[in-house]
Amino acid sequence: MLATLYVVHGSHPCATVKRALELKGVEHRVVEWPPAAHVVPQTLLFRRRTVPGLKLEDGDRISGSRAILRRLDELVPDPPLVPADGIARERVLEAERWGDEWLQPLVRRVLWWALDHRPTAIGSFQEHSTLPLPPAIRPLLTPAIVGVERRLNHVTDKGVRADLRDLPLALDKVDDWLRDGTLGGPGQNAADLQIAAGLRLLMTMEDLDGPFRERPAGELALRIFPEWDGHVPAGAFPEEWLRGLPVAPRSSGATRA
Ligand SMILES: N[C@@H](CCC(=O)N[C@@H](CS)C(=O)NCC(=O)O)C(=O)O
């Protein structure tokens, strides 16, 4: 099967789907759109403006990382991305949903806030981009891209401050899932791929990378995605916004975030 994956370079749900295709051994080509401008071709191709989208050999088009992973499990059952049945399946699907609906948007808000305040870091996120954009042109596009992304993702100071406050509890939740085996098993499941991609993108920000590395959640992200373009130097966020980090691992407790 030859599939076509439509992405924006560096997007965390795109990385999730790319890794799933690799795990399944599905032959695919990747079409990369410019960030922010991608909403136009994606809407035309998929009737939904977001990446990732996957076009199958028979012409079928699927939009959304979770829907794509479900379809991949139907098409290529082995290795499975979600356990076949029972409580284990429910747990993985719940963790995956959290990674998509809660973690994904938080990561975008935090990252675009940081890039708005450190625009020179944007180039580092495009290091392995295949777009034929001369490096000299890229800085000229930065203000427009950041402006659109801030609006698309409803990025505000108040919201990002709250997001950073929520992060320790979110890491606790991931560590709990690692402890009970929902995440971090011998094979990589759909929730591993979804959550690790979000955490890994957060770890491109040096203010967050240190504290995350100390945590099982951070180790998961690095194990699944050892390489990731992008680096926002320390000091992007006001110090008082980072209070609560670094976050030491808890020994036990219920999931809360
Ligand atoms: N949660 C969905 C949507 C992904 C999503 O929002 N992707 C971002 C890039 S990381 C996007 O295309 N944003 C454009 C927009 O919101 O219009 C998924 O996992 O596929």
Range name among 36-50, 94-108, 167-181, 233-247 with the lowest pLDDT average: 233-247
Q: Is the shortest distance between the CB of 149 and ligand 1 below 6 Å?
A: no
Ligand 1 atom with the smallest distance to the CA of 67 is 20
Q: Is the shortest distance between the CB of 11 and ligand 1 below 6 Å?
A: yes
pLDDT band at 252 (very low <50, low <70, confident <90, very high): very low
Exposed/middle/buried for residue 129 (C-beta within 10 Å: 0-12, 13-18, 19+): middle
In a domain, 249, yes or no: no
What is the pLDDT at residue 132? 86
| For the chain, counts of helices (H) and of strands (E) | 11, 4
Q: Are 10 and 230 within 8 A, CB to CB? A: yes
Q: Is the shortest distance between the CB of 83 and ligand 1 below 6 Å?
A: no
Pocket probe mutation, ligand 1, options 43, 45, 50, max atoms within 8 Å of Cβ: 50
Domain count, the chain: 2
Residue 21 belongs to domain with CATH number: 3.40.30.10
- Residue 31 domain boundaries: 2-75
pLDDT higher than threshold 50 for residue 250? no
Average of per-residue pLDDT values in the chain: 93
Would you give the distance in Å from CA 176 to the centre of its chain? 20
| Residue 171 and residue 223 share a domain | yes
Give 51 Cα–ligand 1 centroid separation in angstroms. 5
Q: Is the shortest distance between the CB of 70 and ligand 1 below 6 Å?
A: no
What is the pLDDT at residue 246? 64
Ligand 1 atom with the smallest distance to the CA of 104 is 1
Residue 73, classed as helix, strand or coil, is helix
pLDDT band at 133 (very low <50, low <70, confident <90, very high): confident
Q: Are 242 and 207 within 8 A, CB to CB? A: yes
Percent of the chain residues past pLDDT 70, beyond the cut: 95
Q: Is the shortest distance between the CB of 16 and ligand 1 below 6 Å?
A: no
Residues 6+ apart with CB under 8 A from 130: 9, 30, 32
Give 94 Cα–ligand 1 centroid separation in angstroms. 19
pTM for this model (two decimals): 0.94
Rounded to whole angstroms, the Cα distance separating 68 from 70 reads 5
In a domain, 136, yes or no: yes
In a domain, 122, yes or no: yes
Q: Is the shortest distance between the CB of 145 and ligand 1 below 6 Å?
A: no
Q: Would you put residue 25 in left (φ > 0), alpha (ψ -120 to 50) or beta?
A: left
Q: Is the shortest distance between the CB of 189 and ligand 1 below 6 Å?
A: no
| Residue 97 and residue 25 share a domain | no
pLDDT higher than threshold 60 for residue 186? yes
Rounded to whole angstroms, the Cα distance separating 140 from 18 reads 29
In a domain, 248, yes or no: no
| Residue 212 and residue 102 share a domain | yes
DSSP 242: G
Ligand 1 atom with the smallest distance to the CA of 51 is 12
| Residue 47 and residue 108 share a domain | no
pLDDT higher than threshold 70 for residue 103? yes
Rg (CA), the chain: 18
Residues 6+ apart with CB under 8 A from 86: none
| Residue 125 and residue 23 share a domain | no
Ligand 1 atom with the smallest distance to the CA of 11 is 10
Please say which residue of 44, 75, 106 terminates a domain: 75
| Residue 218 and residue 119 share a domain | yes
The C-alpha angle 170, 171, 175, rounded to 5 degrees, equals 120
**Residue range 111-126, pLDDT digits in tens:** 999 999 999 999 999 9
- What's the order of all strands across the beta sheet hosting 53-55? 27-33, 2-8, 53-55, 61-63
Please say which residue of 14, 41, 75 terminates a domain: 75
| Residue 167 and residue 92 share a domain | yes
pLDDT higher than threshold 60 for residue 157? yes
Q: Is the shortest distance between the CB of 51 and ligand 1 below 6 Å?
A: yes
CA dihedral 160, 166, 167, 169 (to 10 degrees): 180
| Residue 60 and residue 91 share a domain | no
pLDDT band at 135 (very low <50, low <70, confident <90, very high): confident
Please say which residue of 46, 75, 104 terminates a domain: 75
In a domain, 227, yes or no: yes
Q: Is the shortest distance between the CB of 65 and ligand 1 below 6 Å?
A: yes
Range name among 5-9, 26-30, 51-55, 140-144 with the lowest pLDDT average: 140-144
Range name among 70-79, 183-192, 225-234, 244-253 with the lowest pLDDT average: 244-253
What is the pLDDT at residue 140? 85
Q: What is the mean pLDDT of residues 35-58?
A: 96
pLDDT band at 255 (very low <50, low <70, confident <90, very high): very low
Q: Is the shortest distance between the CB of 49 and ligand 1 below 6 Å?
A: yes
What is the pLDDT at residue 251? 43
Give 82 Cα–ligand 1 centroid separation in angstroms. 22
pLDDT band at 170 (very low <50, low <70, confident <90, very high): very high
